[in-house]
Amino acid sequence: MPTVEVILSPALCDTFETKDKTIVVVDIFRATSTIAAALMSGVKSVLPILEAEKTITYKSKGYFIAGERNGKPLPNFDFGNSPRLIQNPKLKGEKLALTTTNGTKCFTWAQGTSCKKIYCGSFINIQATAEQIKKEKNSVVILCAGWKNRVNLEDTLYAGALCNMLKMDFDTEGDSSLVAMDVEEIARNKGYLEYLRNSSHYQRLKNYGAEEDMCFALKENQFAKNIVLVNQHLILED
């Protein structure tokens, strides 16, 4: 039976085996939610980039550029890292280059592994991702972006939700999967938003006026397409 594992922090990446597995990168507040929202609203593709300086160079290559550092929008960028504001009509059919504090570096790391596929994980399309994983029956590693290599609740919650959706068809490997599943069950009973209100990143983004972004990012199954990384770009999977 295929397995599903959870990496609770990027600092633990090198302790997990990813060869020939599917990696699901997740950064709920907010990179992977922004990517999902952008593609949902008609963006052609999203290019995740590690460095802000490199991202700027894509402006001259026909891309719109978006990004943040420490939760705040970058100066001279077209957009920040907001899943609500990225749904802009002028982006329809366009390419977007994105750099963030935590999430985009996880895509960079994943591309350097010998994994089989890389998916973008968000609550916005969690059911589609789960269905695709079940269909492929390939072992999965869920990589939580966290906050500067520290574990955070919102990504752990997503990992637990996905594990709970897969547990009838996949073996859950390691205690991190069990921890994530327990967190999700507690949060679901309380309500995701209520559960996360005291979390560090919720409070950080609240101070920046981004509460609506977080509410949006926790709404499940807003569209029914999986997101896959192909040729360094994240696109909707056929």
> 178: which 2 tokens?
């069990």
**Cis before residue 30, ω within 30 degrees of 0?**
yes
Closest CA to 144 of 3, 2, 16: 16
Whole-number Å distance between alpha carbons of 238 and 236: 6
Q: Which helix (H) or strand (E) holds 108?
A: helix 103-111
Contact 25, 159 (CB under 8 A): no
- Residue 206, CB half-sphere, CA atoms under 13 Å: how many? 10
The set of residues, in sequence order, having a beta carbon less than 8 Å from that of 229 and lying 6+ positions away, is 107, 110, 111, 117, 118, 119, 120, 235
Provide CB contacts within 8 A for 114, sequence distance 6+. 18, 19, 20
Q: What is the 3-state secondary structure (H, E, C) of 123-179?
A: HHHHHHHHHHHHHHCCCEEEEECCECCECCHHHHHHHHHHHHHHCCCCEECHHHHHH
Alpha-carbon span 219 to 214, nearest angstrom = 9
| DSSP secondary structure string for all residues of 166-229 | HTTTSEE-HHHHHHHHHHHHHHHHH-HHHHHTTSHHHHHHHHTT-HHHHHHHT---SS---EEE
- Take residue 126 and report the two structure tokens written for it: 């969690």
Return the axis-axis angle of helices 153-166 and 200-207, rounded to nearest 10°. 130
Q: What is the pLDDT of residue 238?
A: 84
Residue 105: which H helix or E strand, with range? helix 103-111
What is the structure's pLDDT at 173? Answer: 87
pTM above 0.95, yes or no: yes
Per-residue pLDDT of the chain (238 residues; tens, 9 = 90+): 999 999 999 999 999 999 999 999 999 999 999 999 999 999 999 999 999 999 999 999 999 999 999 999 999 999 999 999 999 999 999 999 999 999 999 999 999 999 999 999 999 999 999 999 999 999 999 999 999 999 999 999 999 999 999 999 999 989 999 999 999 999 999 999 999 999 999 999 999 999 999 999 999 999 999 999 999 999 999 8
